[in-house]
Chain A
Amino acid sequence: MNKNNSFVNRLFMVLVFVFLYAPILLLIIFSFNAGSSNTIWKGFSLDWYQKLLHDRLIIQSVYTTILVSLLATVISTFAGTFAAIGFYAMRRRTREPLMTVNNIPMMNADIVTGVSLCLFFVAFFSQWSSFASWVNGIQSFFVLPTRLTLGFGTLLIAHITFNIPYVILSVSPKLRQMDKNLVDAAMDLGCTWMQAFWKVILPEIKPGIVSGALTAFTMSIDDFVISYFTAGTSSTLAMTIYGMTKKRVTPEINAVSTLLFVTVLILLAIINIREVRQERRRIVEQNRI
């Protein structure tokens, strides 16, 4: 009975892993296929990867993706860190509802976030256009552009928006773990608040900031839905892949997807290893006490 049970358990586990990873494995294998079929194996080659490098559309979107992810990560890490410090300084009665509000966007369906941001930008642009014409009409020192469109700028704003909550979420616990008197102690020893921030708070919460930034970068690099609604004329890698599937599924898609998968995998591995290390260090510290 018991043995039987454990067999069923194992079977389930194997099935779960097959369903989870078989498609990705298939995709990776066929990215090395010599032929152009996704079903018939014709031998190993790196042709499709080579082809990628010559595809201007893909290179352009890789460039856009990396640029938007980096910029969004830097800006949202900065904003999120200070937001977390602001939350920390609040009284609990004010902080807890705000933290809930902060968490909603992470749970919210991407499509809702994407569509709402898109509608917001469009609404803003139409108001902007009448404002700009009015300004241009009453003076002639400078000319404001009247027609704004969705593009890299809106894409970046959207990415910053959905990244900030992740940064706040990873910085906040570090602040709470910090000894409440540390800032007082620094100020007692001659620091202004800003000096205390650089010399004492920042070193204490740095691990949280780094994992927040890594999470934000991972989120940015593989986002499709929100980018799709806000990118306008520019195109991220995920969007380009989606566009390619509309025509014909070539192994070139396999190759670029494989690269995206590996990138995200590496980032996730880094985040996890950091967490395990920090946990281990905390246990060592506790044992010492």
Chain B
Amino acid sequence: MSKELIRLQNICMAFDDELVLDHLNLYFKDKEFLTLLGPSGCGKTTTLRIIGGFATPTSGDVLFDGVRINDVPPYQRQINTVFQKYALFPHLNVFENIAFGLRMQKRPDPNDPSGRRMVKIPEEEIRERVMEMLEVISLKGFEHRKPDALSGGQQQRVAIARALVNRPKVLLLDEPLAALDLKLRKDMQIELKRIQQQVGITFIYVTHDQEEALTMSDTIVVMDKGTIQQIGTPEDIYNEPKNAFVADFIGESNIIDGVMLRDKCVKMYGREFACLDGGFAENEPVDVVIRPEDIDIVPVEQGQLVGTVTNVTFKGLQYDIIVDFKGFKWLIQTTDHSPAGSRIGIKIDPDAIHIMKKSKYSGMFGDYSSFSDEYDELDDASLASDEEESGDEE
């Protein structure tokens, strides 16, 4: 596995006595695509600003390649950032925007034997590197345009090129796709992943969009209220959520109160279900996660549980149906049509059941009683602008 590049040690951040980051410990490996995922105000943007050098943590250390960089200003870090809403320089054209970082750079003069004299990067090299970047972002021929004469997606790509042309070791991306429409966002997700693999550096990506995180990341860090909830690969996070918050935030989940009778056996609704998890105390109360797509609908007489369909929504690929089991409503995704009001049985395979320890989030998520509200919320999430936590009130 590749080596560690950045480490955050016991980072705390407070704005006006409000703790935004609470003893954060996290490390970033070289060449990985890591996503900080969480709702507004969870501290993800603040974490990114601390890595970029735009914010100084109240306490704790930031290590880069083993060296403490808390007090190193942004312009001396081998880190570049793609900002929310791009922050392209409006008075410069595309070429000059991308060349900006190179024109600022000075390096030892190759013709000076002492190696102490610093010179600017020669114009031909700047030209070469900018053109090369324009190729990477497929915007050749746009170099004389001003940023306001570009579409959102093009501005986005210029912002990425402007950061990457400096050959940083780490690229920070702060919700870079939030301002784009759905279709373009999907294209850009693939494009970003391609660019990351092409240039082979660490990408640290901040988003509140769980689908974006699952699509692109090698590692996902789920955050809430300034603390890390879970770190893992997209598969881990989706299949083995650590608590009700993660289970609810990533994808759709039914979260049911259960009791662990013994290893590989959980009791809910007064019935025993076989599962694959173990290592809990006898009769320990737990949260049981069942993903809506893992539930089989069977005739009533064969069902492990029997419930009443209360709502059916056609989603193209499948139906989303809400089923009432003794007052607790589940979301089930199925390709079979069951009309509202009908009684159905369900069968759950042992590998579809995931057991989580009780946490402070237990009981807060995973119930689809307020079904329509839940969907409104989902729509909002993709539009919600992420004002949060930047520390001032504007």
Contact = CB atoms under 8 A, between A and B. Distances in A.
Interface of A: 91-92, 179-182, 184-192, 195, 199-200, 203-204, 285, 288-289
B378 interface: no
B392 A184 contact: no
Nearest to B391: A91
A140 B392 CA distance: 56
B85 A189 contact: no
Contacts of B52: 184, 188
Interface string B45-58: 00000001010000
B104 interface: yes
Contacts of B393: 91-92
A91 B87 contact: no
Contacts of B60: none
Contacts of B101: 189-190
A187 B75 contact: yes
B90 A191 contact: no
Contacts of B376: none
Given A190-B104, A191-B75, A192-B75, A185 B394 contact: no
Contact of B104 (A91, A195, A285, A289): A195
Contacts of A191: 75, 104
Query: Among the interface residues A92, A180, A187, A190, which one has the most CB atoms of the partner chain B within 10 A?
Result: A190
A179 B85 contact: yes
Contact of A188 (B75, B105, B148): B75
30 contacts: A91-B393, A92-B393, A180-B394, A181-B83, A181-B84, A182-B89, A184-B52, A184-B81, A185-B87, A186-B89, A186-B100, A188-B52, A188-B74, A188-B75, A188-B79, A188-B80, A189-B75, A189-B104, A189-B162, A190-B104, A190-B105, A192-B75, A195-B104, A199-B100, A200-B89, A203-B89, A203-B91, A285-B148, A288-B149, A289-B148
Interface residues of B, number: 28
A200 B92 CA distance: 9
A180 B174 CA distance: 14
B80 A189 contact: yes
B233 interface: no
B105 to A, nearest CB: 6
B162 A184 contact: no
Nearest to B148: A285
B91 A185 contact: no
B73 A185 contact: no
Interface in B291-325: none
Interface in B143-159: 148-149
Contacts of A180: 394
A188 B392 CA distance: 20
Nearest to A89: B392
Contacts of B369: none
Interface in B77-109: 79-81, 83-85, 87-91, 100-101, 104-105
A281 to B, nearest CB: 10
B166 interface: yes
B85 to A, nearest CB: 7
Nearest to A202: B91
B148 A288 contact: yes
A252 to B, nearest CB: 48
A91 B393 CA distance: 8
Nearest to B90: A204
A195 B106 CA distance: 14
Contacts of B392: 91-92
B180 to A, nearest CB: 13
Contacts of B87: 179, 181-182, 184-185
Contacts of B54: 184, 187-188
Given A181-B84, A188-B79, A204-B91, 7 more contacts: A91-B393, A181-B87, A186-B100, A189-B163, A190-B105, A200-B89, A289-B148
A179 B83 CA distance: 11
B20 to A, nearest CB: 17
Given A190-B105, A204-B90, A204-B91, A185 B148 contact: no
B89 A184 contact: no
A144 to B, nearest CB: 44
Given A181-B85, A182-B87, A184-B81, A189 B100 contact: yes
Given A187-B73, A192-B75, A92 B85 contact: no
Contacts of A91: 392-393
A188 B81 contact: yes
Nearest to B99: A189
A187 B394 contact: no
Query: Among the interface residues A186, A188, A192, A288, which one has the most CB atoms of the partner chain B within 10 A?
Result: A188
A20 B152 CA distance: 51
B224 to A, nearest CB: 25
A79 to B, nearest CB: 24
A52 to B, nearest CB: 44
A186 B88 CA distance: 9
Contacts of B162: 189
